[in-house]
Amino acid sequence: MKGVSAIATARPQVVIVGAGFGGLEAAKALRRALVDVTVIDRQNHHCFQPLLYQVATAALSPAEVAWPIRHMLREQQNATVLMAEVVGVDTAKRRVILDRADPIAYDQLIVATGATHSYFGHDEWAEAAPGLKRIEDATRIRRSILLGFERAELEHDQAERQRLLTFVIVGGGATGVEMAGAIAEIARQTLARDFRRIDPRTARIVLLEAGPRVMPALPQDLSDYAERALARMGVEVKTSCRVTNCDKRGVDLDRGRIDAGTIIWAAGVVASPAARWLGAEHDRAGRVLVRPDLSLPGHPEVFVIGDAAAVFDEKGRQAPGMAPGAKQMGRYVGKLIAARLAGDSLPPPFRYKHPGDLATIGRRAAVVNLGRVHLKGFIGWLFWSLVHIYFLIGLRYRFLVAFTWLWDFITFQRGARLITEVPPQQRPSATDKR
């Protein structure tokens, strides 16, 4: 007979679903509370998403930006980590339903399940235009970029060769800008001398943005700088440009078509199915509408945080789907639960504090917006690098990533140019026109 796990223990059970920035921060905020914390994630690793594009562009290895969750929480004796797939929440019986494993009972629940790419109702584009959320997405995109060059080297037909060497990035936010800049570096520098039949420097890299300018979250001057820096690196930036279709051989735009070998989706996100699990009200992007203390209306014992929740600052602007917001929410809810269970006074409503925006465009080019302070160029790039090294977890990874960046900066190389797990139909071929 199946039981419900942990129902017999005496301490309050806090269950956290999702070990992203929000979930982990909540778990840590509960480290001194007299509770049992159970962190459930379908992956065994926490992914440092701000550097995921560097895995997709062969600069870092997956293991440098993805760390075992249970290792990160090993010293926290009140925390248990389970690798399992959550398929629902029974808010009446207060338990989390797992796929093919016993349900987990909770007294307090934190849902921190994040977001995934949104194709604005065209999920059929996903196959042709992968997005970048998980480690597997990053290795898939890396494979596609590197295979583009490999196939072009085998190809005799000039038009097909040019198609294979065309890379389209859909979405001009931070991820899109960073991807475009990195692919330009690969083509113009890293691979420049590695081929004999093709010249990788002739690759065409196109960044598509539906709005009037790239990096719309930034002030105009930084946005302009980003566009100039991209142009200098040979990236074609097309603004006010809508994608009407994606297929395996290219993208259709509201004005014309671009044949492409690789399409990368960096355009939109949609929240995880948390709203569905909880039967909760949500906005158009699927984000759960939460109360000022981030709890679910009618369920003070259930909290939704990070990209899964719709949260606004005092001016009514939505908190962007970035690590700092998720961490702030995780810390807030962890402390609130600790205070509630200890009978202490509860904290005031959650208020999102925006720390700034930053994106790197390439070697010695980045944009940083800290409100009054705007940084760009080499200084911006240095600031960006230091901030990301600082937020990496553990000395080991700080050192390895710093070493790798320094090495690559000096040599123009990228150390993780691996093509693995190639599906049979994707093997390089000169005659394959699918």
Decide if residue 420 touches a second copy (CB under 8 A): yes
Decide if residue 146 touches a second copy (CB under 8 A): yes
Strands, sheet with 295-296, edge to edge from the N-terminal-most edge strand: 79-83, 36-41, 13-17, 108-111, 299-304, 295-296
Least Å distance, CB 187 to a second copy, is 14
Decide if residue 196 touches a second copy (CB under 8 A): yes
Say which residues have a Cβ less than 8 Å from residue 242's Cβ, sequence separation at least 6.
Answer: 210, 253, 254
Of 12, 68, 324, 355, which one interacts with a second copy (CB under 8 A)? Answer: 68
Q: In whole angstroms, what is the distance from residue 316 CA to residue 146 CA? A: 43
Q: Which is nearer to a second copy, 217 or 419 (CB)?
A: 419
178 is catalytic: yes
Q: In whole angstroms, what is the distance from residue 164 CA to residue 150 CA? A: 9
Q: What are phi and psi of 16, to 5 degrees?
A: -120, 120
Q: How is 8-42 classified by DSSP, letter by letter?
A: T-SSPEEEEE--SHHHHHHHHHTTTSSSEEEEEES
Least Å distance, CB 88 to a second copy, is 16
Of 97, 126, 128, 154, which one interacts with a second copy (CB under 8 A)? Answer: 154
Of 11, 31, 42, 331, which one interacts with a second copy (CB under 8 A)? Answer: 42
Cα separation values, 403 from 57, 185, 408, 415, Å: 17, 19, 8, 11
Q: In whole angstroms, what is the distance from residue 45 CA to residue 41 CA? A: 8
Q: Which stretch binds a second copy (CB under 8 A): 95-103, 180-188, 237-245, 297-305?
A: 95-103
Decide if residue 139 touches a second copy (CB under 8 A): yes
The continuous run of DSSP H or E covering 151 comes out as helix 135-154
Other beta carbons within 10 Å of 103: 21
Of 11, 12, 44, 355, which one interacts with a second copy (CB under 8 A)? Answer: 44
Q: In whole angstroms, what is the distance from residue 177 CA to residue 166 CA? A: 16
Least Å distance, CB 252 to a second copy, is 27
Decide if residue 273 touches a second copy (CB under 8 A): no
Decide if residue 419 touches a second copy (CB under 8 A): yes
Ramachandran region of residue 262, left (φ > 0), alpha (ψ -120 to 50) or beta? beta
Q: Which stretch binds a second copy (CB under 8 A): 21-29, 116-124, 220-228, 412-420?
A: 412-420
Beta bridge partners of 46: 67
Q: In whole angstroms, what is the distance from residue 396 CA to residue 76 CA? A: 20
Q: Which is nearer to a second copy, 76 or 318 (CB)?
A: 76
* Catalytic entry in 155, 160, 178, 209: 178
Q: Which is nearer to a second copy, 128 or 402 (CB)?
A: 402
| Amino acid of residue 171 | G
Of 63, 323, 339, 402, which one interacts with a second copy (CB under 8 A)? Answer: 63
Decide if residue 197 touches a second copy (CB under 8 A): yes
Q: Which stretch binds a second copy (CB under 8 A): 71-79, 303-311, 352-360, 379-387?
A: 71-79
Of 234, 324, 377, 415, which one interacts with a second copy (CB under 8 A)? Answer: 415
- Where on the chain is the footprint of a second copy (CB under 8 A)? 2-3, 42-45, 61-64, 66, 68, 70-71, 74, 79-85, 99-102, 135-136, 139, 146, 150, 153-154, 156, 193-197, 396-397, 399-400, 403-404, 407, 411, 413, 415-421, 427-432
Among all residues, which ones are annotated catalytic?
A: 178
